Structure 1
Amino acid sequence: MEGYQHIGKYIGEIHRSSCMYFSKRFSKFEIGSGQYLFLLNLYKNPGITQEELTEKVKLDKATTARAIKKLEDKGYVRRIKKESDRRAYMLELTEKAEQIKEEVFLIMEEWEDKIRSCFTNEESEELMKLLNKLSKSSLISKGELYE
């Protein structure tokens, strides 16, 4: 249909741009765009289990396992079997991960600044409210889009 616009197109474009940006910026740490999200969540949630991390990032268990394996192989994460549940793994950041923490957050802030530069403060706040509302909606938070 001529003139038809859909939100998914724009969300997809923004997502692809962010992936390219993060891939380039994190390449010096040998971290791909698929791992930075997990690393950020580990900084913010020390001692989290792999299952809890999966829930936080809203991805499947296999994707989380692959990303953690890559971070582990690069020396950023250790998986430790939980005493209370030998099937569960607690995730612990290494000293190597702690050494890059400040720069990781700086890269995230730079991207945020680039995105927000397109908007006034009021527009930026309104966009955040709308995206937060969409993210918390049952469509996204309960995975209804996949049913």
Structure 2
Amino acid sequence: MTDDKSDGVPSAGTSTSRDATDTMKKVSSGIYDLIGVKGKASENLPGVTGCSGKDTKTYFRIFHPWSFTPASASDLDEAMERLKRELPKHGWEIVEYGPNNSKNRSITLTADNDKKKVSVNVIKMAKSDPPMLSLDLVSGCYKVPDGEEVEHY
């Protein structure tokens, strides 16, 4: 995510926190569709957090952590490979891919969508019980419309 950066976080424009949350749910749903294997997503809801160094009544970011557990553990590799292959076809740029520094050296994928002003980090947790993908989405920094305040939830 690249423009209007202050401390590395792009501006995502103007929005209410509720509308930005709805947008994030749609982005997460789109990623879920790209996984393309049978399974179940957790039902975590997006939340609101502040933008570093900015007024928390006026500026905010949306975060949405969730997980995907394939119906069959053998589908975990396919789910991660599909994301690696399909995300770039849908406006995402993969900025990092490979084993992380954890004890399990879990495969991690980080991708940015400059148009949507969202970044996603996916960790293939092959040694979890059950095996799953852990997904963390975070938006750029929004500003609420004049006369409104950020709803924190």
Tell me whether the two structures share a fold, i.e. TM-score over 0.5. no
| Bigger share in helix | 1
Larger radius of gyration: 1
Q: Which has the higher contact order (CA 8 A, sep 6+)?
A: 2
Q: How high is the TM-score relative to the length of structure 1?
A: 0.28
Q: How high is the TM-score relative to the length of structure 2?
A: 0.27
